[in-house]
Structure 1
Amino acid sequence: MNNVVILGIKLDSANRGVNALGIGAISALNENFNYSNYNIVYISKNKMFKKQKITVNNNEINVNSYGFNPVDFIYSLLDLLLVNFMGSQPKSELSRLLLNSQVIFDVNEGDSFSDIYGYKRIIRHSLDSYAAILSKNKLVFLPQTIGPFNTKIGRFLAKKILKNLSSIYVRDNRGIKYLEKWGIPYKLGIDMATFMFPEKTEFEVDKNTVGLNISGLLYYLDIQNYGNLKYTEFQYYKEFSLKLIDRLLSNGYNVLLIPHTYSVEFPIKEDDLRAIKDIVAEIQHENLRYVSKDYNAQQLKYIISKTEFFMGARMHSCIAGLSTSVPTVGLAYSYKFKGTFDMFDQGNSVVDIRELTQDNISEAINDIMAHIQKKNDTREKLKKFNEDKGLKIEL
């Protein structure tokens, strides 16, 4: 049997960061184990199934993607309890998938094994993790952010699940305190999106181009569904973005605006491309371009890799730059940026945009311009780091 199930990822989300995690996870697993049958399982409103293909180092890999609604997961939990305690045959499709898997891997969307996004998110990810535990197969948490857990129910669910894992990999140091407090062994590993190969596309990036990812989430302050984000922390992000672009253009750079969470056909609320179009309409400069087509995560990584310097407010847009040795500054909206940049030995290349005020916008931009001046040295450091990167996964 050579089946594996991967939880907490998708390959066709408007959020290219989630897709990058999925493609990177499969790429790393293929490098380590060369499994023959990959099954992605995620929670969706409606039950669905689709066959998908991804390209890993010029080789096509077939992936089965299963969407189950929350009721399916609850039914599977009950079904697996009966299998364990009554010896009955599994009745649900989800139960059979989990039981027939050699190993189950969970990515938890990179940072969703936490209660900072509210109860719904931690309960949702606990459902699939606990179903995996009941299957009695090995459950491995691939590199991700663990915590924080600020509520009693969050800590209870986390401790219950983490103590039943076969292996756990963390991508930053923030959650280690929980693991050490609860006596849970762990290993450090870099973000899974690092292992996603770029896919060449026809988009031409001009010389002397600085790439900039704009977050529609922060630009439009559409943060009511993100429990840890506060309006007051990002009210100057739009002004900062406009002034940063103006400064770059004034210094003779070509500026390429790159969306990373967007849909060309059906723009979403926090759509990066919608925000970018608003910016381009306002600034109107011949050296200001933007990515407008519906590129996938691998193609966007290729485009980012061709820039001289990159800045991003979406973390996985930054990982696309860092992992292809592009000098990159993270425009951080949460603590997870620092931990991820530390993994690349670039912890000093993070600007915390939560601390922006009208008085310090110029200072933040000056800091970024100083990083641009050092881009050649930074590129060489990243090249050396990326030559040695790899992830040996132990089950």
Structure 2
Amino acid sequence: MRKYKKYVDISGFDINQENRGNAALSYGAISFLMERGLLRDDQDLIVFQYYRNPFKAKHLRLYKEDVDINNVKRKYYIVPVFGIEKWLLMRFGILLPFTRYGKMMRQVQYEAADYGGDGFSDIYGDRLFISRLYQTIPFMAAKVPLVILPQTIGPFTKNYNKEIAIKILKYADKVFVRDNKFENELKLLNIKYERTKDLSAYMKPQKWDINIKNNAVGINISGLAYFNCFKGLENQFDMYPILIMRIIELFRLKGCNVYLIPHSYRWSKPSKDNDDLLACRDVYNKINNNKNVFLIEKDLTSPQVKYVISQMSYFIGTRMHANFAAIYTNVPVFGLAYSYKFKGAFDSNGLDGEAQTVMINNITNDKIDQIIEKINNHYTRSIR
């Protein structure tokens, strides 16, 4: 890596996202880069946003925010860039030396690319795959070094997308992966890489003023599954609300204190098809007797949510990164999965994905008893 410069670009950086799992990737990226000696305390963060219309005020205004992570204060800049400058760079390799873009681009040490944890793939469509590269491609044209942060690489359904990915991987100075999904290809391509944990593992829990009772069982209820109308996944979770009620009943009968924990939610103006807090609140209000059931109803940061989960004796999550919060704080965990990736993620972290996860897509009522039994069996083994 070259000598230290003023800025580091962490693509997708946003610690204020409603999805605390995605926000955890931003927190974790800072901790990971600091731990690896790749980020100094005196370096600030930067992201470029490209636009076509030069007459909108928001396209002229430099956004600046103070962020404090791991007791280190930094500036975070979102820099608007007129599209013609990007075009000159991409088409002719010209970086204008007298513009804000040209001056700041020359002060970027490297891009640390996080494509959403599992977004370095085209399984969600060509458009989303290419859109995630909006920082990487101009940086490559400007010959700015690249670090691929720990994430899943692939799969790729189309050869031309895979060729783009391979070009980026070959260009990168460092490649980190969180699982073995693309290891064989990396070896065949002679691309050096290092396997490590998911970025959220590096985010430290932040203690706050909450008193967790003994024998606490945490349940993360996904608004996506509960409301069952999220575009692309709608009508796959008809039995999910019934399953959640049965799980709560299971642990109340055991004398446990049950905590309903949202992980992806917007404190103001929540999304009605995807909000965990709305789902948790609805479940809580439908329980006839709320004794020993507690709703975590507070606008928490991602590290604060991780702290709550870390205090559980046992945890059941539907959001993958809610499960990661349990896994990386050594809390026994069971995953209610709506993607095959759950099992692989559990296996990759030394757990038993077969015994500790179950698919909840399109389950029928008679399947619920089997799921409850599977959860109970794992819980019984975990508390011995």
* Change over 3 Å in CA distance of 1:88–1:64 after alignment to 2: closer
Aligned to 1:380: none
Residue 76 (structure 2) aligns with = 64
Equivalent residue number for residue 382 of structure 1: none
Secondary structure of the residue aligned to 2:309 is helix
- Output the amino acid matched with 1:80: L
Instruction: After TM superposition, give the deviation of residue 233 of structure 1 in Å.
Output: 4.0
Distance 1:343 1:63 in 2: 35
Counterpart Cα distance in 1 of 2:122 and 2:34? 31
- The letter for the 1-side match of 2:297 is S
Match of 1:279 in 2: 283
Q: Counterpart of 2:97?
A: 89
- Which structure has the larger Rg over C-alpha atoms? 2
The residue that corresponds to 2:250 in the other structure is 247
Q: 1:130-209 to 2 correspondence within 5 Å?
A: 130-180=137-187, 182-209=189-216
CA deviation after TM superposition for structure 1 residue 8, in Å: 2.3
Q: Which amino acid aligns with 1:175?
A: F
Matched, 1:336 2:345: no
What are structure 2's unaligned runs of at least 5 residues? 52-57
Q: Matched residues in 2 for 1:293 and 1:44: separation? A: 35
How far does residue 108 in structure 1 lie from its aligned partner after superposition?
1.0
Could you report, residue by residue, the CA deviation over 1:263-307 in whole angstroms, capped at 9, with x for unpaired residues? 222212311000111111112321111111101011111111111
Match of 2:35 in 1: 31
Match of 1:19 in 2: 23
Q: Say which is worse superposed, 244-253 or 210-219, in terms of deviation.
A: 244-253
Q: Secondary structure at the match of 1:374?
A: helix
Residues paired across the two proteins, number: 366
Check 1:171–1:76 CA distance in 2 against 1; reply closer, same or farther (3 A cut).
farther
- Cα distance, 1:222 vs. partner? 3.2
For 2:361, the equivalent position in structure 1 comes to 354
Q: 2 CA distance for matches of 1:338 and 1:298?
A: 24
Closer, same or farther: CA 295–338 of 1 in aligned 2, 3 Å? same
Work out the CA distance in 1 between the residues paired with 2:104 and 2:318.
37
1:51 aligns with 2:65: yes
Q: Distance in 1 between matches of 2:222 and 2:82?
A: 32
Give 3-state SS (helix, strand or coil) of 2:371's partner. Answer: helix
After TM superposition, the score normalised by the length of structure 2 is 0.87
Contact 1:233 1:354 in 2 (8 A): yes
1:6 and 2:10 equivalent? yes
Which segment drifts farther, 306-315 or 335-344? 335-344
Larger helix share, 1 or 2: 1
- SS of the residue corresponding to residue 194 of structure 1 reads helix
Distance 2:82 2:126 in 1: 17
SS in structure 2 of the partner of residue 303 of structure 1: helix
Q: What is the aligned partner in structure 2 of residue 309 from structure 1?
A: 314
Partners of 1:103 and 1:138 within 8 A in 2:
yes
Deviation at residue 74 of structure 1 after TM alignment = 5.2
The one-letter code sitting in structure 1 at the alignment partner of 2:201 is T
1:212 to 219, 223, 229: 219
Q: Report how far residue 157 of structure 1 moved.
A: 3.0
Could you tell me which runs of 5 or more consecutive residues in structure 1 were left unpaired when the two chains were aligned: 378-395
1:74-112, CA deviations, whole angstroms, 9 ceiling, x for partnerless residues? 54542323673x57537463x544432122111112111
Counting only pairs closer than 5 Å after superposition, residues 111-130 of structure 1 correspond to structure 2 as 111-130=118-137
Q: Alpha carbons of 1:89 and 1:65: their partners in 2 closer, same or farther (altered >3 Å)?
A: closer
In 1, Cα distance between the equivalents of 2:48 and 2:236? 32
* CA drift at 1:239: 2.3
For residues 175-197 of structure 1, the C-alpha deviation after alignment (integer angstroms, 9 at most, x for no partner) is 33553565533221110110111
RMSD: 2.5
2:371 corresponds to which of 342, 354, 364: 364
Could you tell me which amino acid in structure 1 is paired with residue 45 of structure 2?
N
1:288 to 277, 293, 305: 293
